Amino acid sequence: MVIVVCIKQVVTREMQVRVNDARTWIRDGEASWELNEPDAYALEEALRLREKHGGEVVVISGGPARVTQVLREALARGADRAIHVDGEHLATADAFTAAAALAAGLQSENIDLVLTGLQSDDQGFAQVGVVLAEKLGVSHSTIIMDVQVQDRTLRVKRELEGGWFQWIAMPLPALLTIQSGINQLRYATLKGIRAAKKKEIRAVPAPPAPPARQRIAAVYMPEKSKQTRMIGGSPAEAAAELVRALREEARVF
């Protein structure tokens, strides 16, 4: 079974980012980078499926040359080989452009299963996976908490609202977006790091960027503000008004 995992390189969570001069994104030249955490859970699930059913795990990422850093990390964790869809514009591409580039990079692959993280830590739109499934012409399901493979059929557990779950049967090939916390992550060992240096990263050029279907109008840091409100009346009246304001205006309970 060939399992493809789509991974993304994002700014580290501890990084104090600054907005660029155009106010459309951050100053990524000053940033430090890491593997998108939801994608790490997708990678771990792929490795566990390979251990149960055999096959290989292929990781793919699109972006400038720096994304090979997270591809090497995925190889060190246990992936078999990697594909780098090389394109500077993919660093800030919308979901449609990113999905089209990933689909182009997978054209020559005989895929059984594609896994992605539910969403990215930077933009968090949760759209690349489902758009990619349409590009590849395969069935898909989202917010997956458990994956079971039986012959050429998947049985997956979806997380719904309000603490509910849903079990779905679907055929292979398929694409699943994996919920964080589905498993316990493994980290690269020294042996894995050494082995990763000998594993293949195949570079393919990104296709020309299509017209963007969405754009970021502006990025800004959250503005800090506070407001003091005095509540008068008797103690009983003040308490009643405070409870009402907390419930109806602040919505804290």
Going from the C-alpha of 248 to that of each of 96, 232, 253, the distances in angstroms are 39, 18, 9
pLDDT per residue over 112-154, tens digit each?
999 999 999 988 889 999 999 999 999 999 999 999 999 889 9
Give me the DSSP letters along 156-167.
EEEE-GGG-EEE
Between helix 128-136 and helix 95-105 the angle, nearest 10°, is 40
Q: What is the pLDDT of residue 236?
A: 92
Q: In the numeric block, which tokens belong to residue 87?
A: 């394109």
Q: Please, are residues 4 and 138 in contact by the beta-carbon 8 Å criterion?
A: no
DSSP label of 246: I
pLDDT per residue over 206-249, tens digit each?
999 888 888 888 887 777 777 788 898 899 999 999 999 888 88
- What stretch of H or E contains 223? none
User: Which one, of 139, 129, 210, lies nearest residue 170 by Cα?
Assistant: 139
Q: Give the separation between CA 125 and CA 75, rounded to whole angstroms.
A: 26
Fold of 2-205: Rossmann fold (3.40.50)
The set of residues, in sequence order, having a beta carbon less than 8 Å from that of 251 and lying 6+ positions away, is none
User: Which one, of 142, 181, 150, lies nearest residue 44 by Cα?
Assistant: 181
Q: Give the separation between CA 97 and CA 39, rounded to whole angstroms.
A: 19
Q: What is the pLDDT of residue 216?
A: 82
Q: What is the pLDDT of residue 2?
A: 97
Q: How far is CA 141 from the centre of its chain?
A: 15
Q: In the numeric block, which tokens belong to residue 206?
A: 């990104």
Q: pTM of the full predicted structure?
A: 0.84
β-strands 81-86, 56-63 pairing: parallel
**What is the three-class DSSP state of 171?**
strand
Q: Give domain limits for the chain.
A: 2-205
How confident is the model over 93-103, as a mean pLDDT?
94
pLDDT per residue over 164-212, tens digit each?
999 999 999 999 999 999 999 998 999 999 999 999 999 999 999 888 8
**Helical H segments across the chain, by residue range:** 37-53, 68-77, 95-105, 128-136, 190-196, 235-244
pLDDT per residue over 52-83, tens digit each?
999 999 999 999 999 999 999 999 999 999 99
Q: Give the separation between CA 11 and CA 123, rounded to whole angstroms.
A: 11
Q: In the numeric block, which tokens belong to residue 170?
A: 């679907």
Q: Please, are residues 170 and 141 in contact by the beta-carbon 8 Å criterion?
A: yes
Q: What is the pLDDT of residue 195?
A: 94
DSSP label of 98: H
